[in-house]
Amino acid sequence: MQDIELGAVQERFADLVWAHEPMGSGELAKLCQRELNWKKPTTYTVLRKLCEKGLLQNENGTVSSRISREEFYARKSEQIVAESYAGSLPAFVAAFLSKQGLSAGEAEEIQAMIDAFRKEGQA
């Protein structure tokens, strides 16, 4: 599947759909009015564009995702590593840690993930 590029506004819209799906398109328009202060035509325009990109679907007035939130953000992360760090996850982690650092709990959580991947034969 292709990479799906979203602007900040489209990403906020997609997050609303992921949080409330499946939902009727009318209900989505009301939600966008409350949360984003959008008029109905704006909601339907953004919905149409995200359906064209293959992220969402609107079947018989019911809006749902074609790609889960987790899958979308996993792809986005992979794209950042590929484009900005020549595909090197260690280089990405090193750059992140040089500014951000890790708490002891975060380090333990990451180590547990690494150990689980090794145990499953994925590393």
Domain extents for the chain? 8-69, 87-123
**Is pLDDT above 90 for 100?**
no
Distance between CA 123 and CA 117 in Å, rounded? 6
Fold type of domain 8-69? Arc Repressor Mutant, subunit A (1.10.10)
**Is pLDDT above 80 for 91?**
yes
pLDDT tens profile 38-74: 999 999 999 999 999 999 999 999 999 999 999 999 9
Query: If pLDDT is split at 50, 70 and 90, which confidence band does 93 have?
Result: confident
**Is pLDDT above 90 for 1?**
no
Tell me the one-letter amino acid at 4: I
Tell me the one-letter amino acid at 119: K
pLDDT tens profile 13-39: 999 999 999 999 999 999 999 999 999
**Is pLDDT above 60 for 123?**
no
Distance between CA 57 and CA 35 in Å, rounded? 21
Sorted by sequence, the CB contacts under 8 Å of residue 43 that are 6+ apart come out as 13, 28, 29, 32, 33
Query: What was the pLDDT predicted at 60?
Result: 95
